[in-house]
Structure 1
């Protein structure tokens, strides 16, 4: 396995949990899957539709998202909102994210000082 393949796998692993946090945070304001994908993309978090929609269904099944159909338009669309349980999980995940970030920052070697 090449270094590029190894890095790709690690990046995918790192992003997987990040996408969950991003979805729960973003959907505190109700939104559609397509709009969510655009919002994430604009924030620099590109998510394939084949990844996003199964994730939304899984989060709904876990009770972390609430979903409803909007039938006001010619084509019904499902919109999602972070549930109260999802908000609690989001807060816990963000706390853990902060702790992990602090730990990694403390463990990371400091770069050598630049000469002027």
Structure 2
């Protein structure tokens, strides 16, 4: 009987440690592609936006690769930047060269929101 109790306790400990080791991957982790830009009440998909740029938009793309080790790489039309990220509740702070940008996940989409000269621009990325 004593042996069965020890085995039961050991199995319980193994299960507790196994569950403690399970860590949920943050929603921000993954490969993201720019899909939509919104400004002044207008929403435009990135392909249309690239068309509006004319020749300059011929190879236009916006991608971001967010790693679980709290680093990321963003490619904005051939310009690549690397940075770090941290989770703060339902928001994420991305940092590149000491500059912070807070982003959110809305409907499984990564949303950047920036305001300059009283104009708000939202960039929306999808996995």
> TM-score by structure 1 length?
0.24
Q: Indicate the structure with greater helix content.
A: 1
> TM-score by structure 2 length?
0.23
Q: Indicate the structure with greater strand content.
A: 2
Which structure is higher in RCO with an 8 Å CA cutoff and minimum separation 6?
A: 1
Query: Looking at CA atoms only, which structure, 1 or 2, has the larger radius of gyration?
Result: 2
